[in-house]
Structure 1
Amino acid sequence: MRHGGGCDKVVAMEMVLEDNPSHSDWDSEPDLLSDFSCPSFVESGTDSQPDGHTPKPFPISKVSQSETASICSGSLDGVEYSLRKEKEIVKMTMPRTLAFCYLSLLWQRETITLSDLLRFVEEGHIPYINAFQHFPEEMKLYGRDKGIFAIESWPTYEDIYKKVIEIAKFLDLPRFPDITEDSYLHPNILCMKYLMEVNLPDEMNDLTCQVVKMTGIGEVDFLTFDPIAKMAKTVKYDVQAVAVIVVVLKLLFLLDDNLEWTLSNIAEKYNEKNKEDKPWFDFRKWYQVMKKSIDEKKQKWEEARAKYLWKSEKPLYHSSIDRAVVYKRREMVVSLQKQFSALVDSAPTVEKKSPSSFQFNWTEGDSARTCFHGHGLQGILKKKGQSLTTKNSLYWLSTQKFCRSYCKHVTTYEESNFSLSYQFIINLFSFLLRIKTSSLHEEVSLIEKILFKRKYGKTKKKSRSRKGRKY
């Protein structure tokens, strides 16, 4: 929102984009009445005319009280937003502002993913909910202006991702700087980052790099965002990277609730007999450590969301007359909250941590939480000539059913159709990225479709031949 001095008219930025009602809380709000007046704007100023003639009124239509309030707070944005009636016209909103910020980060090839950006919002490092309370004192909001910043839900990955593409198309942005192998957003680097995040062996990075190379998802043209291309789309860099890791885990352990436990028994016996040697990776032990850690993290996250105060510390009043009343009520609320907090929990308030791209910290020698970064894959791999290959020769595809529409998306993900190990892996990474499990499953399926192109081709031919049979 743009502000000007006094009652200057400010034209709001508008975008001709697809209408999205999910973030338009201010559309249905009733007019907020205010006792504001702007003499220089509304009054005719008869006293200032020395010749006694009645001056012509300023050529402005009738202004309601709520409109006047918006004008006197230095903006016409609130009025224009509330008058929106035409379809396919969407103004700049807080979610779109967040998408615009990600576009700038992507252009600069900064070391931050979309999931990190949304998590920083969630943790309070980036002003989003009640962002107006960070405005300077001269930027006061009245009337309908408050609707622009009235956010009552957390931003979601899919919604911001769609808005990123919409804004880039609207602005006719050129091809973005290339995402090369030395870029943070390249899958090889992100895979290494997420392997460290979820406490998996470093040796797995060689396998993730092989999958990236075989599928071609590490090519510059595939990774670089080009808004003016015929099929403009940007890669979900973080989701794609963790999907590659899921595919590698399936290649190594199959994740069928059987083979992974058999291999774990072998690794456990070896580690007991060879305590001085480099330990073999034990999937069962890793599962136990990660399940405990992720359950604790989820519990804290759920508690933080449940305790989150949607009301701002700096009250937003509709008019100057309401200011004293609003501040008095706010003081009472804060006082009551402090009293209840003292009764419920006497623990001291934890200071806000600095933003970090890592949510977990694994260190060698921690007896409470084993670090698996240095563990080997010798019990899972075998030599074949001069190279290593997986002992497991089987693989099951996450899905072979893609919708017949142009998008070719995967059918709906249902947990009951998959093994418990696969569900755990999907839920683990989905929580880290704050995305839906179905979104990650879809990305895994798309990578598998490229990696096992021949298998999908044979399945397609078989289905066609069955349809062609006559009985």
Structure 2
Amino acid sequence: MRRSCVLRDSGPQKENFEIFGGQFQSDYKEPCPQCAAVNWGITDEGRFYCKACHNVIEKTQDVISDEFAHNTKIQSISRGLKRKRGLDKGWQWYVCEGFQFILLKQAEALLTLGICSRLKDEVLCNFWRRYLQKSKQAYSKTLAHTRSRECAISENSSNGSEWPTDLEDLILDAPSSFSETEEFNFAAHSRSISSDTDASDTTSVRSGSLDGMSYLRPGQKGELLMSMPMTLAFCYMALLWMREPVTLVDLLRFVAGGHVPYLHVFDQFPEEMKLFGPDIRIFQVQSLPSYNGVFEKTHALAAFLDLTCFPPITEKCFLHPNILCIKYLMEANLPDELHNWTARVVKKTELGDVAFLRFDPIAKKRMVRYEVQAAALIVVVLKLLFLLDDRYEWLLSSFVGKRNKKNKEDTPWFDFRKWYKVMKSALDEAQKKVEEERARYPWKSEMPLFYSKENKWVVCKRKQMLVSLQQQFGKLVGSLQAVKKQNPSSFQFNWDEENTDMNCFLGHSLEGVMQEKGKSFTTVNPRYWLGTVKLCKKNGCCRHWRQNMKI
């Protein structure tokens, strides 16, 4: 059990803490299970406590000497402080400040991954300020910190001038960086809110934050409340605005790998920000976010902020389908020649137009799922070349396999069956590794969390027992070397030609599925199979579909 107390004595009086039963406590040399220090003292109950971290253990002192000096001044750790210090209650903070701290940590993590430094202070910080203004949590004349009762506005914040409504004017008056905004908000709230108000004390008992109770209630119409998946929506929206080479799939993969803080990020909160009661339901998550969930929240967030049209995505941008197709062709270990066909499909379907790829929240235009679009283009090209009807591609693979055996010196033709077996084995192995990592993932936080004041000591006691059992099992099993976290990469597979364990198909030829027709090459497969859907051939149209027709 950890006691929240501070030893105020120093100098010669410090030795009095070590006297109990007539002898000095220098015979117990076991390290502290909490901090591994060997610096023990005795409480008034006769138990050992660590003077470094104030951790009380179950071991008690055996009294050896019966002689006891009654006039000796003995000071010891009491069972509890009669008057709590102001630091024990912590800061009076709002939920939005907790999310602001999380956004700051996520932005710093993205910077360590190589993202441009402008993303934190120039893009993400301005999006956050605009959200605070739109939701009337800051930068507004009428603040809405609590939704169950009206908050009184101090006289200093409403004397004469109104808050600016334009984002550009808002940025000029605000701090210049995300870190300064965080420090400014924490300092402002700690000074402006009086510690003598009964309402604040009541709220602090039920929740660590001032508006934790009201935050879980149904929001007002048109209100977009913050949540943990919403923090990733802010990050993805900032990445999309900067046109960084990070897709939403990559961002979620970095979150799952622990490179971007998401799970248990509240463990990094300052010690003065106490997490209690309803705050746990707000900041604690028990699962990884889904792609569709973060995508929909990003679209709703951009509409809520009334953002202008995002920067255009040209052919030189990473999110353009031509560049994304190159990445996914390399990831899928497919021949390089397929990129020529994906580029032709992009040009034919006009999926690479700037007007189509550009996101415009004011026009209520839907966002493009860039990685899904690129993967779909590759599937369409594979169907154009190999039909993929579970018959044609296997017959073609038999023909290509015989040809490659006869002509081993020439450039090998792409064998669909061989590629399928290699990819199936690699995907199964990768999926098994992901499941093993997911099973070993510590879903519970290291910091003990409790919803009420009554079960606080029960939770702390259980946490102490759990830590003790883990240490005992660790001694039995032996010290295991911690697995070093690998640096994240945009590619999950390494199809190196020098690697003998895996077959690389990047340099294979598509001659087996191509035929020369005039001055150009066309596919051997004349059809495009899609179940009951067929291309419309009327007047040379190849962009419309005719339903319910047999192939």
Report the CA distance shift for 1:387/1:332 in structure 2 as closer, same or farther (over 3 A). farther
Corresponding residue number in structure 2 for 1:101: 235
Which of 247, 251, 259 is 2:392 aligned to?
Answer: 259
Higher mean displacement: 332-341 or 92-101: 332-341
Corresponding residue number in structure 1 for 2:226: 92
Which of 315, 327, 330 is 1:196 aligned to?
Answer: 330
> Displacement, 1:336?
3.7
> Displacement, 1:70?
6.2
Corresponding residue number in structure 1 for 2:195: 40
Corresponding residue number in structure 1 for 2:204: 68
Mapped pair 1:226 → 2:360 = yes
Report the CA distance shift for 1:10/1:145 in structure 2 as closer, same or farther (over 3 A). closer
> Displacement, 1:449?
9.4
Higher mean displacement: 452-461 or 375-384: 452-461
Q: Is the 2:236–2:248 contact (alpha carbons within 8 Å) kept by the matching residues of 1?
A: yes
1:98-140 CA deviation, whole Å, 9 max, x = no partner? 1111000000000000111111111111111221012233333
* Cα distance in structure 2, aligned partners of 1:180 and 1:449: 30
Which of 157, 161, 164 is 2:295 aligned to?
Answer: 161
Unaligned runs of 5+ in 2: 1-88, 98-131, 136-192
Q: Is the 2:335–2:505 contact (alpha carbons within 8 Å) kept by the matching residues of 1?
A: yes
Mapped pair 1:7 → 2:92 = yes
> Displacement, 1:333?
2.4
**Paired residue secondary structure (2:92):** coil
1:200-255 CA deviation, whole Å, 9 max, x = no partner? 111111111111111100010100111011x4211000000000000011111111
* Cα distance in structure 2, aligned partners of 1:146 and 1:343: 34
Which of 212, 219, 236 is 1:78 aligned to?
Answer: 212
Report the CA distance shift for 1:217/1:458 in structure 2 as closer, same or farther (over 3 A). closer
Which of 486, 505, 513 is 1:380 aligned to?
Answer: 513
Corresponding residue number in structure 1 for 2:347: 213
Higher mean displacement: 79-88 or 303-312: 79-88
Higher mean displacement: 316-325 or 118-127: 316-325
Q: CA-atom RMSD, angstroms?
A: 3.4
Corresponding residue number in structure 2 for 1:128: 262
Mapped pair 1:392 → 2:525 = yes
1:131-177 CA deviation, whole Å, 9 max, x = no partner? 10122333332232222212122211111111111000010000000
**Paired residue secondary structure (2:511):** coil
**1:141-180 counterparts in 2 under 5 A?**
141-180=275-314
* Cα distance in structure 2, aligned partners of 1:195 and 1:107: 26
Unaligned runs of 5+ in 1: 17-37, 44-59, 402-447, 464-471
- Match for 1:359: what amino acid? Q
**1:226-375 counterparts in 2 under 5 A?**
226-229=360-363, 231-318=364-451, 326-337=459-470, 348-375=481-508
Report the CA distance shift for 1:297/1:122 in structure 2 as closer, same or farther (over 3 A). same
**1:441-452 counterparts in 2 under 5 A?**
none
**Paired residue secondary structure (1:459):** strand
| TM-score, normalisation: structure 1 | 0.70
Corresponding residue number in structure 2 for 1:443: none
Q: Which has the higher contact order (CA 8 A, sep 6+)?
A: 1
**Paired residue secondary structure (2:239):** helix
**Paired residue secondary structure (1:389):** strand
> Displacement, 1:456?
7.3
1:3-55 CA deviation, whole Å, 9 max, x = no partner? x9843678785977xxxxxxxxxxxxxxxxxxxxx993345xxxxxxxxxxxx
Q: Is the 2:237–2:298 contact (alpha carbons within 8 Å) kept by the matching residues of 1?
A: yes
**Aligned positions, number:** 370
* Cα distance in structure 1, aligned partners of 2:353 and 2:435: 39
> Displacement, 1:76?
2.1
Structure with bigger gyration radius: 2
**Paired residue secondary structure (2:546):** helix
> Displacement, 1:391?
1.0
Structure 1 or 2: larger helix share?
1
Report the CA distance shift for 1:111/1:39 in structure 2 as closer, same or farther (over 3 A). closer
* Cα distance in structure 2, aligned partners of 1:9 and 1:203: 56
